[in-house]
Amino acid sequence: MEALASSHTQSVDELAVTLKNFGLESVPKAPNTYPALNPVDIYRSHTTELLASVSGIDPKIIYPALQWTQTLDKGDLTLPVPALRVKGKKPAELAVELGEKLPESPLVQPPVIKDTYMQFFFKPAPLTSLVIPSILKNGSAFGFNPNLGLRDPADPAKGRKKMIVEFSSPNIAKPFHAGHLRSTIIGGFLANLYEGAGWEVVRMNYLGDWGKQYGVLAVGFDKFGSEEELVKNPIGHLYDVYVKVSAISRDEAEAIKAKKEEISALRAKGEPTEEQQEQLKKLEDEGVDEQARKYFKRMVDGDAEALGVWKRFRDLSIEKYKATYSRLNIRYDDYSGESQIKDESMEAAARTMEEKGVSEESEGAVIVDLTKYSKRLGKAIVKKKDGTSLYLTRDIGAASERFEKYHFDKMIYVVASQQDLHLAQLFKIMEAMGRKDVAERCQHINFGMVLGMSTRKGTAKFLDDILRDVREKMHEVMRTNQAKYEQVEDPEKTADTLGISAVMVQDMKGKRINNYHFDMDRMTSFEGDTGPYLQYAHARLCSITRKAALSDDELLSADFSLLTEEHAVDLIRQLASWPDVFLNTVKTQEPTTVLVYLFKMAHALSSSYDHLQVVGSEEALKRARMALYAAARQVLWNGMRLLGLSPVERYGSIVSPFLPLSLPSYRNPLTSCPTVLCSCSVQTHY
Ligand code: ARG
């Protein structure tokens, strides 16, 4: 076990030995491919070599034309012949001709020609011998490719590209709404994705923590605040305070309006208004609004006491958020926020905009007329009449500051599609200001709405409430199977983890831009494509692993040629495609790309159990099948971790979170179930 743990990743030499057994002299390797990380690269290189040798076509054209398939019945790789760009020959004829000319290959079967497509099916025996060890040796790094994020793949010493993922970004003393929930889940996933691709990722939370409302909050805290409550539940308490003080401020606004009406009515009648004027002034001067304005002014002017109070609210809220984020396997490198943006940055931006003629005065305010670039961008206000900054102004300052601080190669804003216009304006203004270099590196990742998200006690306000409700619901679902429920070690904790998976998977199941219904019954079901279903698939594999109780060596030295059943071969073909699914996900930036794959695999797994018994089979077969299932468990684990889920090993014991994704195997796949060798616990069926 030690030896394996230290041998980390699969090496090319090991591949060479395996391939030699199948009659290949060397490891086929086209430029910029990674056979030790992605076994399918071997097949692409090999098929390219074969095709080039019979056609004389440049391998540089053939290689990228070889595509992965949507379903395995279309082959493991497919070649749309028109992509070879051969002139003067009908593609369908060329397909047949190439198919006939191709020499016998040790790795792929003679191609199946379907019209203008050549479908390549991998031969099972070599595939199995390549893929299973590759997965077991690469472990939690299998499928990821840290080379993608290199500045220069030819010279790793030049370092990694840097990325900021800004996500979640809730507002202090305001509800954590569905938009924040989605941003948190999708942003967490994207950060993992790019880390898995070898980027240096900075996870940034950009809190809504500035503006007059924080003056309102401070005034409110004076009236209704409780020190004890604040420490106990800062987010909830500050929100309550804010709601109460806002109600007062609304009442006052109405009283002021009424008073003004009274005054104009008196004036119309030519009656004196002095007394009412006095009352109006008192209302205005002593009201929450004015106090808040003054308080916020003190904050802006850097008054230590005012800032101290506000900072405490902020710090306590962040502490609380941290705890909740960690339940979703999320941690931040930078808790930034609107308050952190320096006046200098905004002033410098304002100067540049003015100098470059980007901005103009309009009725006392400063605006940028973006209609000259595109009608839909409209006109954006960048400075209010009273000189105060706006959400947009702060974002302009933030983008410049972040670039100064991090020199990022890419920055992703994970924000609901309701803010499409805001971000489009931001990027265009940056460009117009002469910061095309920054604007070009920015990307808005948007997403649709969650419909009907409410807790049992009313409309959802906070992340914790949502998670609490889902946990309770999950617990109920678990209780419906009393026999299984009794085997669960820590039902509360298990319900919590499964509930979180339920929420996250539901969120990531569809394309980001689609709206979806928050459906508690559906998401907590163990049937259908849900989080609990995936968790179940993983726990079941762990259970088999525990029962089989085989060592790493026993698995790696298994006779893979015994895996000949259709179910086994199909499973291996699917496992082989995980690194390509990962690559494709980097392109789509869609968590659903991963989920569609994982569900397909989970289905293949569940239909395989009856055909591929492990415990109870004779020794050699048991070892080979267990190696297959260990590999499947690893891939499932890697995919779930990429999504930000905490895979359960058995009900009540959860794999520890916060493992980096892209680093070489810090976690041995065969020992990542710590109980592998010593325990044979009850099977966890749900
Ligand atoms: N706090 C904002 C809101 O709740 C989201 C911030 C999005 N990020 C940004 N850089 N504007 O609407």
Structure tokens at 409: 């190669």
Task: Assign 239 to helix, strand or coil.
Answer: helix
Task: Assign 540 to helix, strand or coil.
Answer: helix
For ligand 1, say whether the CB of 338 is within 6 Å of any of its atoms: no
- For a substitution probing ligand 1, which of 203, 206, 427 has the most ligand atoms within 8 Å of its CB? 206
Report the pLDDT value the prediction gives residue 462, as an integer from 0 to 100.
84
In degrees rounded to 5, what are phi and psi of residue 52? -65, -40
182 within 8 A of 219, measured Cβ to Cβ = no
Structure tokens at 87: 């002139």
Low-confidence ranges of the chain (pLDDT < 50): 1-7, 652, 654, 656-686
Total tally of structural domains belonging to the chain: 1
- For a substitution probing ligand 1, which of 415, 417, 418, 445 has the most ligand atoms within 8 Å of its CB? 415
Find the CATH number of the domain harbouring 108.
3.30.1360.70
Burial label for 343, CB within 10 Å (0-12, 13-18, 19+), is: exposed
- For a substitution probing ligand 1, which of 392, 402, 419, 449 has the most ligand atoms within 8 Å of its CB? 419
What is the length of the chain? 686
**CA 138, chain centre distance (Å):** 22
**Which residue's C-alpha comes closest to atom 11 of ligand 1?**
395
Q: What gap in Å lies between CA 246 and CA 237, rounded to an integer?
A: 14
Report the pLDDT value the prediction gives residue 79, as an integer from 0 to 100.
98
For ligand 1, say whether the CB of 396 is within 6 Å of any of its atoms: no
In a domain, 31, yes or no: yes
In a domain, 112, yes or no: yes
In a domain, 105, yes or no: yes
Q: Indicate which atom in ligand 1 lies nearest the CA of residue 207.
A: 1
Report the pLDDT value the prediction gives residue 322, as an integer from 0 to 100.
94
538 within 8 A of 633, measured Cβ to Cβ = yes
Report the pLDDT value the prediction gives residue 479, as an integer from 0 to 100.
92
Active site residues: 174, 177, 180
d(CA 332, ligand 1 centre) in Å? 16
Report the pLDDT value the prediction gives residue 460, as an integer from 0 to 100.
61
Q: What gap in Å lies between CA 337 and CA 349, rounded to an integer?
A: 18
Structure tokens at 144: 């990821």
For ligand 1, say whether the CB of 395 is within 6 Å of any of its atoms: yes
d(CA 224, ligand 1 centre) in Å? 28
- For a substitution probing ligand 1, which of 166, 169, 429 has the most ligand atoms within 8 Å of its CB? 169
**Which residue's C-alpha comes closest to atom 5 of ligand 1?**
169
**Which residue's C-alpha comes closest to atom 4 of ligand 1?**
170
Q: Which of 347, 362, 372 is nearest to 425 (CA)?
A: 372
Report the pLDDT value the prediction gives residue 677, as an integer from 0 to 100.
23
In a domain, 101, yes or no: yes
d(CA 419, ligand 1 centre) in Å? 8
d(CA 444, ligand 1 centre) in Å? 12
261 within 8 A of 276, measured Cβ to Cβ = no
Range of the domain at 28: 12-68+77-121
| pLDDT tens sequence across 74-100 | 999 999 999 999 999 999 999 999 999
> Distance of CA 92 to CAs 11, 86, 100, 114, 493, Å?
39, 12, 13, 8, 58
Judging by DSSP bridges, how do beta strands 410-414 and 442-445 pair with one another?
parallel
d(CA 10, ligand 1 centre) in Å? 43
Report the pLDDT value the prediction gives residue 454, as an integer from 0 to 100.
67
DSSP string for residues in 251-278: HHHHHHHHHHHHHHHHHHTT---HHHHH
In a domain, 216, yes or no: no
> Residues 6 or more apart from 126 whose CB is under 8 A from it?
18, 19, 22, 106, 107
In degrees rounded to 5, what are phi and psi of residue 443? -140, 135
Count of CB atoms within 10 A of residue 138's CB? 23
Report the pLDDT value the prediction gives residue 657, as an integer from 0 to 100.
40
In a domain, 103, yes or no: yes
44 within 8 A of 63, measured Cβ to Cβ = yes
d(CA 415, ligand 1 centre) in Å? 7
In a domain, 131, yes or no: no
Q: Which of 636, 629, 464, 654 is nearest to 544 (CA)?
A: 629
For ligand 1, say whether the CB of 427 is within 6 Å of any of its atoms: no
Model's pTM, two decimal places? 0.91
**Tokens 């080379």, residue?**
147
d(CA 335, ligand 1 centre) in Å? 13
Q: What gap in Å lies between CA 203 and CA 169, rounded to an integer?
A: 11
In a domain, 109, yes or no: yes
Task: Assign 37 to helix, strand or coil.
Answer: coil
69 within 8 A of 76, measured Cβ to Cβ = yes
